[in-house]
């Protein structure tokens, strides 16, 4: 564990900030009335925090162990539950895996979340080489937020996050499906068997079964049989997600607007969902076969208008 710190309560460091440092920050504090300003560095095993109380000048640093939604909620209640200025408590969170539940819990507690863009935030460290630790990352976010220099990302509403999750799962299955088809072709080629195309159709699968029985070794037949089972399982899940995506697109305003204004030719609500979810390109999803890409259409900003 890098930069190992004590647990959340035992590890709080109350550090009086020198007077000259507070004066140096005064302009940023007056421009944005934050009573608490901090950064959270998220990892699977813990969340490292570093926040400044702008009224007292104290800096608190530590870790929330076994980080999950329940532990974070308890930590927020323990640290800030008796305060009446939750709207002036602001935290920065990097837009990496895990940011969603942290942002949701902060919002549920009435606090303000700033989603930091990871690459630009890292670039603002400058050229000087420093030891990179969780504590340093949290402090870096806090300093940028306090100075008004934090590069932020848009935080989508819940329905867009759900659409993103569905689309991400669909594309993962699509890639897995393609990988299993490629494995079948590799086995056929490695053993010099007849090429089988159209493996997404019943006729193609029937031809594959015949070729495997007549031209492949026992191990080759086992490989192909396993791959076909994986294809069938993947296709079944893709069909389920396909129906969910179509339903989602038909009940969201963003995809309708994108289809009308961005995508030319054949209208399809799923194209709008894909661009709305932040892919940055229009993709027509199909239950069978690869995705049909329509280059040159970018509609992420339209999607943000929902």
pLDDT at 274: 59
Task: Please check the confidence at residue 125 and state whether its pLDDT lies above 90.
Answer: no
Task: Please check the confidence at residue 171 and state whether its pLDDT lies above 60.
Answer: yes
Burial of 52 (0-12, 13-18, 19+ CB in 10 A): buried
The Cα–Cα gap between 305 and 209 comes to 51
In which band, very low, low, confident or very high, does the pLDDT at 205 lie, cut at 50, 70 and 90? very high
pTM for the complete prediction? Answer: 0.71
Locate 89 and state its tokens.
């408590």
Cβ-contact 194, 211 below 8 angstroms: yes
The alpha carbon of 95 is separated from its chain's Cα centroid by a whole number of angstroms, namely: 7
Highest mean pLDDT among 45-49, 164-168, 282-286: 45-49
The Cα–Cα gap between 279 and 288 comes to 21
Q: Which CATH number fits domain 15-147: 3.10.129.10, 3.30.420.260, 3.90.1150.10, 3.60.15.10?
A: 3.30.420.260
pLDDT at 67: 81
Residue 85 CB neighbour total at 10 angstroms:
14
The alpha carbon of 273 is separated from its chain's Cα centroid by a whole number of angstroms, namely: 16
Highest mean pLDDT among 9-18, 52-61, 208-217: 208-217
Cβ-contact 208, 200 below 8 angstroms: no
Locate 207 and state its tokens.
């031809």
Contacts with 108 (C-beta within 8 Å, 6 or more apart), sequence order: 73
Q: 267-302: per-residue pLDDT in tens? A: 555 555 655 554 444 444 443 333 333 333 333 322
**Domain map of the chain by residue range?**
15-147, 158-303
- The 3-class secondary structure across the chain, one letter per residue, is CCCCCCCCCCCCCCEECCHHHHHHHHHHHHHCCCCEEEEEEECCCEEEEEEEECCCCEEEEEEEECCCHHHHHHHHHHHHCCCCCHHHEEEEEECCCCHHHHHHHHHHCCCEEEEECHHHHHHCCCCCCCCCCHHHHHHHHHHHHHHCCCCECCCCCHHHHHHHHHHHHHHHHHHHHHHHHHHHHHHHHHCCCCCCCCCCCHHHHHHHHHHHHHHCCHHHHHHHHHHHHHHHHHHHHHHHHHHHHHHHHHCCHHHHHHHHHCCCCCCCHHHHHHHHHHHCCEEECCCCCCCEEECCCCCHHHHCCC
**209/27: higher pLDDT:** 209
Task: Please check the confidence at residue 188 and state whether its pLDDT lies above 80.
Answer: yes
Question: Which of 40-49, 150-159, 268-277 is the least confident region?
Answer: 268-277
Handedness of CA 281, 284, 287, 291 (dihedral sign): negative
User: What is the rounded average pLDDT for all residues in the chain?
Assistant: 78
Counting other chains too, the contacts that 183-191 makes at CB distance below 8 Å and 24 or more residues apart are: 183/223, 183/227, 184/208, 184/223, 184/224, 184/227, 184/228, 187/216, 187/220, 187/223, 187/224, 187/227, 188/216, 188/224, 190/220, 191/215, 191/216, 191/217, 191/220
Q: 217-264: per-residue pLDDT in tens? A: 999 999 999 999 999 999 999 999 988 888 888 777 777 776 666 555
């Amino acid at each position: 564990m890098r930069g190992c710190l004590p647990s959340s309560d035992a590890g709080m460091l109350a550090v009086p900030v020198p007077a000259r440092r507070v004066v140096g920050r005064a302009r940023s504090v007056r421009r944005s009335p934050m009573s608490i300003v901090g950064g959270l560095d998220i990892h699977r095993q813990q969340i490292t925090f570093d926040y400044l109380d702008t009224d007292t000048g104290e800096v608190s640093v530590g870790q929330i162990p076994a980080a999950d939604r329940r532990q974070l909620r308890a930590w927020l209640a323990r640290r800030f539950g008796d305060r009446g200025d939750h709207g002036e408590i602001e935290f920065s969170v990097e837009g990496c895996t895990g940011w969603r539940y942290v942002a949701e819990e902060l919002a549920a507690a009435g606090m303000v979340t700033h989603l930091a863009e990871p690459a630009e935030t890292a670039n603002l460290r400058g050229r000087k080489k420093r030891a990179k630790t969780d504590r340093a990352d949290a402090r870096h976010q806090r300093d940028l937020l306090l100075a008004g220099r934090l590069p932020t990302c848009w935080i989508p509403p819940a329905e867009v996050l759900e659409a993103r999750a569905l689309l991400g799962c669909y594309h993962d299955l699509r890639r897995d499906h393609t990988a299993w088809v490629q494995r079948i072709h590799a086995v056929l080629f490695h053993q010099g068997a007849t090429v089988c195309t159209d493996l997404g159709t019943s006729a193609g699968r029937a031809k594959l079964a015949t070729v495997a029985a007549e031209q492949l070794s026992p191990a080759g037949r086992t490989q192909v049989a396993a791959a076909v089972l994986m294809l069938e399982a993947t296709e079944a899940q893709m069909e389920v997600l396909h129906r969910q995506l179509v339903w989602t697109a038909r009940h969201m305003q963003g995809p309708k607007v994108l289809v009308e204004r961005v995508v030319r030719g054949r209208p399809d609500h799923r194209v709008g969902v894909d661009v709305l979810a932040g892919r940055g390109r229009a993709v027509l999803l199909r239950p069978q076969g690869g995705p049909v890409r329509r280059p040159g259409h970018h509609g992420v900003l339209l999607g943000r208008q929902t």
